Amino acid sequence: MLYTPINFKEKLSKFTEHWSPKVVAEMNDYQFKLVKVEGEFVWHDHPDTDEVFIVIEGVLDIEFRDGKVTLESGEMFVIPKGIEHKPVAASECKVMIVEPRGVVNTGDAESSLKAQNDVWI
C-alpha cells in the first residue's frame, strides 16, 4: 500500500481565512494544526498547556507582557502554559501549531476571533 504524506502546501491551499486553525494530523491526544494569520490577535493564555508555533512561511511576532519573539520560516517557539501572549503578523504568515486536542485558539479570552475547534482539512 502507498500511504499518503500530509503536505503542508496542499493543506494550506484549501482555506483562506485568518486565525482559524485547521487540524491536519493527530499524534496520541495532540493535534497538528495549520493556520494563516495576519494582523493582531488577542492577548490570551492557555492555563493548562504549553503551545508550539512553527512558522512555515512569512514572519510571526509573538508578543509577551515582558518582551517578544520574532519567528521566520524554519523557526519555532514554545509558549509556556499560563503565559499571556499575542501573535501579530504584519503580512500573511503560515504557521503550524502543536497542542493537545481541545485547546481553543483564544484560550481564556473572550473574543470574536475565537475559532471553531477541531476542524479537519
Footprint on this chain of a copy of itself (rule: CB under 8 A): 1-9, 24-28, 30, 32, 49-52, 56, 62, 64, 66-72, 74-78, 81, 98-100
Give the nearest distance from C-beta 45 to a copy of itself in angstroms: 15
Q: Closest distance between a copy of itself and the C-beta of residue 48, in Å?
A: 9
Q: How many CA atoms lie within 13 A of 80 on its CB side?
A: 2
Rounded least distance, CB 22 to a copy of itself, Å: 14
Report the residue number, 38 or 50, with the smaller CB distance to a copy of itself. Answer: 50
The residues, any chain, with a CB within 8 Å of residue 101's CB and separated by 6 or more, are 26, 29, 30, 31, 118
C-alpha cell at 67: 518582551
Rounded distance, CA 27 to CA 18, Å?
A: 24
Neighbours of 24 (CB within 10 A): 19
In the bound state with a copy of itself, the residue whose beta carbon lies nearer, of 2 and 110, is 2
